[in-house]
Amino acid sequence: MTFAQFSRRESLSPGDICREMLEGHRESIKTKKEHTAVRNLELILAATLAVSNQKGFQAMSMRDLSLASGLSMGALYDYFSSKEELLEMIQATGRRLTRRVLERGIEGIDDPVARLTAAIRTHVYLSEALQAWFFFSYMEARHLGEEEKEKAKQSELYTEGVLSEIIAQGQAAGVFAPLDRHLAAAMIKAMLQDWYLKRWKYAGRRVGVDRYADFVVQMALSFCLSGGGADASGEITL
């Protein structure tokens, strides 16, 4: 699978995402005409990500957002009742989306090597398609209320759990080495996140998304298959 193939398979245009967003927040959005609501959500979303990823969500004022989106301050409050709710809305939609796309990316693939490869590629490609969104979710998660912050952590652990279960499956099949699968999954997750957190670095080096995905797959498989060489046999599997 390449990024181009992934993009064709998944419909992740701003319109698609905002329709999903509207679906999940019907009760709190005052505008009832579907078409208008989706169009304005697109404006709000694009503006929020653009301004926040540059200066931070806290530092983005409602006046900034009004200017960047083209909607008045009054109109903005038809789509959320407070700045905090806007943040939660974006985070919740991202979590649902990630979960769905990741599940679809690995379903029906049983061979551990192929399944781990698919999980990694799907995650890198998804975060490429929604780079601004992923960056935003990562950097602004700490500004959520306690309740929503907990959901963000659970979401991180979910993704990691997907990886760790694939490793367990490979170990049960005797294909992967008996290394600590939770730590291995955490390390793969860290590598996946670097792609959307350090864009400036990879852009400057002209590393593209397919090459990046290849490299992470290679590194993860190398480790899982060999177990880190001679001295891995003593590792705890938990």
Binding mask 95-134 for DNA (x = CB under 7 A): ----------------------------------------
Binding to DNA by residue 32, rule CB under 7 A?
A: yes
Among a second copy, DNA, none, the one that 72 touches (CB under a kind-dependent 5 to 8 A) is: DNA
Nearer to DNA, 77 or 202 (CB): 77
Q: SS3 sequence, the chain?
A: CCHHHHHHHCCCCHHHHHHHHHHHCHHHCCCCCHHHHHHHHHHHHHHHHHHHHHHCCCCCCHHHHHHHHCCCHHHHCCCCCCHHHHHHHHHHHHHHHHHHHHHHHHCCCCCHHHHHHHHHHHHHHHHHHCHHHHHHHHHHHHHCCHHHHHHHHHHHHHHHHHHHHHHHHHHHCCCCCCCCHHHHHHHHHHHHHHHHHCHHHHHHCCCCHHHHHHHHHHHHHHHHHHCCCHHHCCCCCC
Please tell me whether residue 3 binds a second copy under the rule CB under 8 A: no
Residue 108 or 229: the one with the smaller Cβ distance to a second copy is 229
Residue 83 binds: one of DNA, a second copy, none (C-beta under 5 to 8 A by kind): DNA
Output the smallest distance, CB 235 to a second copy, in A. Answer: 8
Q: Taking CB under 8 A as the criterion, which residues in 189-228 touch a second copy?
A: 189-191, 193-194, 198, 200-202, 205, 207, 212, 215-216, 218-219, 221-223, 225-228
19: contact with DNA by CB under 7 A: no
Q: Of DNA, a second copy, none, which one does residue 32 interact with (CB within 5 to 8 Å by kind)?
A: DNA
Chain positions contacting DNA, by CB under 7 A = 30-33, 36-37, 40, 60-64, 70-75, 77-78, 81-84
